[in-house]
Structure 1
Amino acid sequence: MTDVNLETLIAEKLIGNSPIMQQLRTIVNFAGRCNSSILITGPSGSGKEVVAEAIHAISDRRNATNIAVNCGALPDQLIESELFGHEKGSFTGAVNRHVGLFEQADGGTIFLDEIGDMPINMQVKLLRVLETRIVNRVGGNRNIGVDIRVIAATHQNLRECINNKSFREDLYYRLCVVPIEVPALSERTEDIPELVAHFLSNLGGSSPLPIFTKEAFAALQHYDWPGNVRELRNAIERACVFFSGKQVFAEDVAKLIHSDIAPAHPTGGATASTATDRSLKDQYAPHIADQALPVFEPRGDDVRDLNLHLQHEERRIIMRALDGSHGVVSRAARSINIKRTTLIDKMRKHNIDGRVAEPMDCQVTA
């Protein structure tokens, strides 16, 4: 694979041209050329598995198996069997021989997601496999050699886990030969237009796609995205459902983010014009190849201060949620799909106490 092809493949998987993403693509390019263990860190939803897929796709192992496993999703009593396999009759319920994921990934890559959640006793066994490249099935006595590339990922601070004795220091150094940190979306908001275009091109179906106005785009960049790229993708997919063929305005973004869906423009006044009512899949396809910004339609209302408008809109949603929950904060938080502590912080920010209040329709005028 030529350098040009490598860069093209990486760019297709790791969307965005911010400086921090350009640096990430450079690191991934180097990581794909080596065979060392890799530790990917970053907040939940930032795209750690996508980075792992990109590394495998540009490596010499790209034609072999790439297996992903979430260490936190495997029960403690089954994780050894799942990873390393077991022999028939080795324990109650083992009616057949099972080939573990490490054996299945022989010649390819195994991605150990949420490695920080792996039980401490399993960390010892994983360390041995990483050092010897030999697995032993549960209940077996045969050494089975495996040729694998190990990529691990976690959202946790493994240094802190080492200090509190929940993660082995020797395993950390064995995994962290090539460290890669994936940035939070809030650190690269300039990439949001390209991410939106990418998601829309993949979500395009028989229904017309939503059209994001410039103000909606600015609102997306203003939000801090605690769920990162995963949360953005969910919001864009939600827009495809509820704003198909319609313009998405700044006030609609808050509804999309907080799952407070009630399309603000059900009548024809805010639908796309004939010129823009065509499928947007063709509109966004050239964007991915040419790295151009998507076209956002102008808005025709009188919002002059976007930040102030978003603050009023957020306060209105919180007040309505509190009113609907009769002042019960935990219930209000669930109704708008945020954590209770997050809602309390926002209530303090907007100077809202816990008493039942009538919802407010705040209008921002010139």
Structure 2
Amino acid sequence: MDQLILAIVASACLVATVLWGRSARLRLRVVKRLDATSGDSDAKTLARSDLLRNLHATVVYGVLTLVAAVEAVSDSQNADLVLALLALPIAMTVLQARNAKRDARLAQGRSQLEQRAQEVLTQEDLAPKRWAARLAPEALPEFAGFELGSAYQAGSGMLAGDFYDVFRVAPSRVAAVIGDVAGHGIEPSITAFQCKYLLRVFLRQFRDPAQAIEELNTQMSALERDEEFISVCIVVFDSEAETLRYSSAGHPAAWLVHEREVRPLRATGPLLMLDPEGKYISREIPLAVNDMLLLYTDGLAEARDGGQLFGEERIAAMMRRDPTVSPDVLCKSLLEAATDFASVPMDDDVAILAIRKH
């Protein structure tokens, strides 16, 4: 019975010997590859220490296999002699122990480097989201007499070029702005940021949104970024005069629900940066209680199912279906509908803004 148990132990130790031996062989390949290609001495040192630990385990289990096998088939005297072979892995342990402090220090240093690298990667991942939150914030300000809603979805680019903003320009006037800078990446995103905050200045300086757009066009054209074009739509709500005045520079049609009728508010001038002296006009429309305005960037209408676009008519149809829907529900429903419609991922950014007059 004892011999059977020893035979089982010998078999188990043999399996462990083989497994640790394979691991040691793989570690040896790593060491050779680092010696041939890497200048990182710390990595080489840690790899060699790892190889020695694997060799140590291989030798230990090899000796135990031999001891158990000899004990199972012969007398104990021979087993005692074989057991003396354990002096070899013990000696290896003593040699490795001398380098334990060095290996621990190197491992801690590399762990700290990896942690810092992970923190950098995390910051790089968060940066576009934080930037997008500045351009198209999820939380909108509150204005007495108005209900606001929004939705935003980033496209395939790292940084967004779509933006929207809602702010008070006078005690009785609130401005809503939406825009889209062509392209993806850092440059269009910076341009979008500039546009958003320049318009805050110009719309307080000029009562007419068309004048604000012309001034923005002049300033942005002076930057001489020929590859960039900007569409923007500005709507100024005047609660005292009960009107809205809008101007649009090549932007997709806004949609207005007025007395339960849905109508488009189309562009009143060309894209920005096409012509530094471009002219823009504004239009004034009566504003009634429960009227709602929808603004969006072209990524919404250009959601694609094969050769078919989601299109502005589907957008208008959703507004006609329930003219009393809340602005926030409308924005999120439109984004969800476009996403469901698209048969391929939506590459372009999508920004949606809705405002209802109470």
Give the TM-score normalised by structure 1: 0.21
Structure number with bigger Rg:
2
More strand by share: 2
Give the TM-score normalised by structure 2: 0.22
More helix by share: 2
